[in-house]
A and B are shown apart, each in its own frame.
Chain A
Amino acid sequence: MRTKEDIFQLLENVSDPEVPVLTVLDLGIIRDVIIINDNEVEIVITPTYSGCPAMNTIAMNIKFELMANGIQHVRVREILSPAWTTDWMTEAGKLKLNSYGIAPPQYTTLNNPREMDAVVPCPQCHSKDTVLVSQFGSTACKALYKCNSCLEPFDYFKCH
């Protein structure tokens, strides 16, 4: 009989299509795993941003991964409440983001300073002498920063 742990193991293989170093578990978007029987599972997810175009792909990839591992009926259901927050991102996920070249969220939503005051270390050279270039980046979740030490630009995964 399949257990929740079995399913979580499989979900470790499902990555964010935009940031492939992160799994859906690292992102904190898996809200529940419901085992109906050995052949039928429901996965409950929550979207990161309202308009995030990756959610459809993620839902599809979850289905494919489970079906490829012998579960014939997979249902992926989306819930909106409680709203996803970067507070749910795992510490492991944050480390992976940094090595990938994206600065992870620096604060929790509770102790979040004004965006302008946030100190974001450069993922390349680790200098704290960095500057916000734009609140909005290539995707809804990212902002654009520049490092004054090594002069490289980098993405920052915003606190949300």
Chain B
Amino acid sequence: MNPSLVQYILHLADNSFINGHRLSEWCGHGPALEVDMALSNIALDNIGAARSFYQYAAQLEGGDKTEDYYPHWRTLREFRNVLLVELPNGDFADTIARSFFFDAYQFLFYKALTNSKDLQLAAIAEKSLKEVTYHLRFSSEWVIRLGDGTEESKERMQASIHKLWDYTGELFSASDTEKEMIDAGIATDISLLKPEWDKIISDTLEEATLSYPLRADGAWFQNGGKRGIHTEHFGFILAEVQYMQKTYPGAEW
């Protein structure tokens, strides 16, 4: 059992899990019924993918580890998601900007991961790619509706794009674990995804009549999630996710 492989799987699981958790916070609070259902469905898809990854990790680690251990019992610094997905939902434009950036990444990421030497990861990628294609369509179409919408929707959508831009750099910067797994032919080489990702983003922003944020080459970007260094928001997520299990360990229903 390779500990680096387990860490890599948990990074993928945490990305989907935290993203799904944030989206689930919209359930019952969406701006319109149709959107409420959409966000809840997308959240569920994400959590389903997270389950597949957590199950695989539990299988590799063995012992009495199950999929439930990882989201409910790990401490803050053991989570390996990118910072982008843990950001608060904010207003609808903030959520759409976050989803748009992440869904475009996930689409390209899973496409590449279907070629992984690890057959289970390739299988999870094949399954998730179908669903993420819908997610990207949903978020990119809302970027366009809001961008090419009213004065207020355009203002808010543009502001959200700018606000979250600094969190997208981490998506393409491989951690040490990722570098090891890339060399082993198991992980997606995320540094190669950036040009295609940029194209999806810029094409959509153009259709949305929004401006594309400029960043100098080599500029600093928000990072640390992959090393377990999270934002101040993460503690609140864990308080909600872990409260029941930590207060009543082993509780089931």
Residues of chain B within 8 A of A133, CB atoms compared: 34
Residues of chain B within 8 A of A108, CB atoms compared: none
Residue among B41, B51, B128 with the highest chain A CB neighbour number at 10 A:
B41
Q: A79-B123, A80-B126, A83-B126 are in contact. List 12 more A-B contacts (CB 8 A).
A: A50-B52, A50-B127, A51-B44, A51-B49, A53-B44, A80-B124, A81-B123, A83-B130, A133-B34, A136-B34, A137-B37, A140-B44
Q: List 28 A-B contacts (CB under 8 A).
A: A47-B127, A49-B45, A49-B48, A49-B131, A50-B48, A50-B51, A50-B52, A50-B127, A50-B128, A50-B131, A51-B44, A51-B46, A51-B48, A52-B48, A53-B44, A80-B52, A81-B119, A81-B122, A81-B123, A81-B126, A133-B34, A135-B138, A136-B38, A136-B40, A136-B41, A140-B45, A144-B34, A144-B37
B47 is an interface residue with CB less than 8 A from chain A: yes
- A138 CA to B41 CA, complexed, in Å: 8
A70 is an interface residue with CB less than 8 A from chain B: no
Closest Cβ neighbor of A109 among chain B residues? B130
Residues 60 to 94 of chain A near chain B (Cβ within 8 Å):
79-84
- A79 CA to B56 CA, complexed, in Å: 12
Closest Cβ neighbor of A160 among chain B residues? B130
Closest Cβ neighbor of A81 among chain B residues? B123
Q: Report B's interface with A, CB cutoff 8 A.
A: 34, 37-38, 40-42, 44-49, 51-52, 119-120, 122-124, 126-128, 130-131, 134, 138
Q: Is the interface of A mostly helix, strand, loop or mixed?
A: loop
In the complex, which range does the number of interface residues on chain A fall in? 20 to 34
Q: Is the interface of B mostly helix, strand, loop or mixed?
A: helix
Residues of chain A within 8 A of B134, CB atoms compared: 135
Q: Which of B41, B119, B122 contacts A140 (CB 8 A)?
A: B41
Residues of chain A within 8 A of B130, CB atoms compared: 83, 160
